[in-house]
């Protein structure tokens, strides 16, 4: 049986998926078109939901420590949302450059036996009933790779999506922007103010002494496309179209072009080919929501694809990836589109922005806007069993980090139970055997009851979502059905 998975794209989504597959022992190859990794990156936020996922895999400490800066604010349509202490505790962003995130994830993937190859361009894809053939071009020539499944994690201009005929629903006109790191510019600095202009946004972010990041977003016009290097003249022209003037700057030390339609793939899976992250859903920058959505795509898919490749997946398991994650991708696109609608055309939305500024002062509104994409719960329904208000409130939610103690007195975190990427059945009676074993693929852990988890038994999927929970022995049938649904 062909048990090989090929991932195209060594960004955060592709590398996180590679880690998940490597953890499950699946033979995995990552193909990256870039010949080397840049030392700079435009993205720099790891949302709390990403950090929690990394903690569940025991690698969060590699991305930062107690001294790593945290960003306790956000915005909606460039209207600032200042977090109170409670919101900052759960919705913070850890300031980690995306290039560092990619470095750490690649390091971990290689530790788990994943092959990561740079300078590899995919030029053709053909799938049949038994697998996928991928034509790859590199400096040494062309070759074919044969795999059981192919996953496109290759970004907003996805080659996999194009070659395999994936269609997209477009939500908004294209946007275009450039990012450039420059030295302090003299003379006309006060002319340029970060913020919203009639034709777009200008961001000015001091990174360190003698280094400033300029960022533009234009709501009109089309991006020149991903090909070709960004030039100093292109940066200046973009700033001038937004502000009416161009700053006096020397040649930037680093430049990057951004811009693409806000769009959502009409499907995430075509038989043996799947899409993850920006290849499936792309939108303008939106407070780090692209990263958190991408990472959670990868973690949702990883254990399901591993089970499929190994012949252990119950019917419909791999289809549940699209069923669960496409609505989240759509929410990310809608949130980004709503922000554009609150910014452009500026003269038309001035009254709307005035109303929004008042609403955003309300704590309930802040929480809603901040968690619109990040606070995900799935609707798990099992035939013949209680659902909706009749089901345990934990079912379908993210498993929380709760301290528990085993009968021998060992203290651990519930996140520690997910480090090896397996499903977990947490027996909270304190009595071994009081909850029935349900599946050989599920680890059973007995712990003492805790008021933080109002349950006798909790079944947790490898991606950290609660598949079943009950308060008494009457729930054993539900536990059995939930285990069969997700683990076969």
Backbone φ and ψ for 317, nearest 5 degrees, come out as: -60, -50
Chain segment 65-112, per-residue pLDDT in tens: 888 889 889 999 999 999 999 999 999 999 998 999 999 999 999 999
CA distances from 488 to 279, 371, 427, 439, 442 (A): 30, 33, 20, 8, 11
361: number of Cβ within 10 Å: 11
8-state DSSP, 370: H
Domains and their CATH numbers in the chain = 4-170+262-374 (3.50.50.60), 175-258 (3.30.70.2450), 388-487 (3.40.30.120)
pTM (predicted TM-score) = 0.95
Beta bridge partners of 453: 450
For residue 75, with 0-12 CB atoms within 10 Å meaning exposed, 13-18 middle and 19 or more buried, which class applies?
Answer: middle
> Cα–Cα distance between 457 and 474 in angstroms, integer?
11
Beta bridge partners of 179: 215, 256
Chain segment 250-260, per-residue pLDDT in tens: 999 999 988 77
For residue 208, with 0-12 CB atoms within 10 Å meaning exposed, 13-18 middle and 19 or more buried, which class applies?
Answer: exposed
What pLDDT is recorded for position 248? 87
- Are 132 and 146 contacting, i.e. CB atoms less than 8 angstroms apart? yes
> Cα–Cα distance between 302 and 22 in angstroms, integer?
9
Is residue 384 pLDDT above 60, yes or no? yes
- Are 204 and 194 contacting, i.e. CB atoms less than 8 angstroms apart? yes
What pLDDT is recorded for position 144? 98
Cis amide leading into 373 (omega within 30): no
Confidence of residue 36 (pLDDT cuts 50, 70, 90): confident
Is residue 187 pLDDT above 60, yes or no? no
> Cα–Cα distance between 408 and 464 in angstroms, integer?
25
Alpha helices in 189-318 (DSSP H): 232-243, 289-309
Interstrand relation of 149-152 and 273-275 (parallel, antiparallel or unpaired)? parallel
Burial 277-303 (b: 16+ CB within 10 A, else e): bbbbbbbbbbbbbbbbbbbbbbbbbbb
- Are 376 and 335 contacting, i.e. CB atoms less than 8 angstroms apart? no
The token pair at 33 is: 């078109």
Chain segment 106-152, per-residue pLDDT in tens: 999 999 999 999 999 999 999 999 999 999 999 999 999 999 999 99
As a whole number, mean pLDDT of residues 406-424 equals: 96
State the Cα angle at 227 between 223 and 229, rounded to 5°.
95
């Amino acid at each position: 049986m062909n048990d090989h998975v090929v991932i195209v794209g060594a960004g955060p989504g592709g590398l996180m998926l590679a880690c998940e597959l490597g953890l499950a022992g699946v033979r995995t190859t990552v193909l990256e078109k870039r010949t080397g990794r840049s030392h700079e990156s435009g993205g720099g936020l790891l949302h709390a939901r990403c950090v929690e996922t990394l903690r569940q895999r025991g690698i969060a400490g590699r991305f930062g420590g107690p001294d790593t800066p945290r960003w306790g604010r956000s915005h909606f349509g460039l209207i600032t949302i200042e977090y109170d202490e409670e919101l900052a505790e759960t919705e913070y962003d850890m300031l980690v450059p995306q290039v560092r995130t990619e470095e750490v994830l690649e390091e971990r993937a290689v530790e788990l036996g994943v092959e990561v190859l740079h300078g590899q361009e995919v030029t053709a894809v053909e799938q049949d009933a038994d697998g996928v053939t991928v034509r790859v071009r590199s400096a040494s020539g062309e070759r074919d790779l044969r795999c059981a499944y192919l996953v496109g994690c290759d970004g907003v201009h996805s080659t996999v999506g194009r070659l395999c005929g994936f269609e997209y629903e477009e939500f908004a006109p294209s946007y275009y922007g450039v990012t450039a790191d420059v030295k302090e510019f003299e003379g006309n600095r006060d002319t340029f103010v970060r913020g919203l202009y009639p034709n777009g946004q200008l961001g000015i972010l001091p990174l360190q002494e003698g280094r400033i990041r300029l960022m533009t977003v234009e709501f009109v016009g089309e991006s020149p496309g991903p090909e070709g290097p960004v030039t100093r003249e292109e940066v200046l022209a973009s700033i001038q179209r937004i502000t009416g003037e161009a700053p006096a700057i020397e040649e930037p030390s680093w430049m990057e072009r951004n811009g693409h339609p806000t769009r959502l793939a009409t499907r995430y899976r075509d038989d043996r080919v799947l899409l993850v992250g920006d290849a499936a859903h792309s939108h303008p920058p939106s407070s780090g929501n692209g990263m958190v959505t991408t990472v959670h795509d990868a973690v949702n898919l990883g254990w399901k694809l591993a089970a499929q490749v190994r012949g252990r997946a119950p019917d419909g398991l791999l289809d549940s990836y699209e069923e669960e994650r496409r609505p989240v991708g759509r929410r990310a696109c809608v949130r980004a589109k709503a922000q554009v609608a609150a910014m452009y055309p500026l003269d038309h939305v001035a009254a709307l922005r005035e109303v929004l500024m008042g609403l955003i002062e309300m704590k309930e509104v802040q929480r809603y806007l901040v968690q619109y994409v990040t606070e995900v719960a799935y609707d798990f329904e099992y035939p013949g069993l209680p659902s909706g208000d009749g089901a345990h409130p934990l079912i379908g939610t993210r498993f929380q980090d709760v301290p528990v103690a085993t009968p021998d007195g060992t203290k651990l975190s519930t996140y520690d139970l997910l480090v090896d990427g397996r499903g977990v059945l947490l027996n909270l009676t304190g009595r071994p055997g009081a909850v029935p074993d349900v599946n050989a693929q599920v680890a059973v852990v007995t712990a003492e009851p805790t008021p933080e988890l109002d349950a006798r038994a909790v079944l947790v999927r490898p991606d950290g979502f609660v598949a079943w929970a009950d308060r008494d022995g009457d729930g054993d049938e539900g536990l059995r059905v939930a285990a069969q649904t997700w683990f076969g």
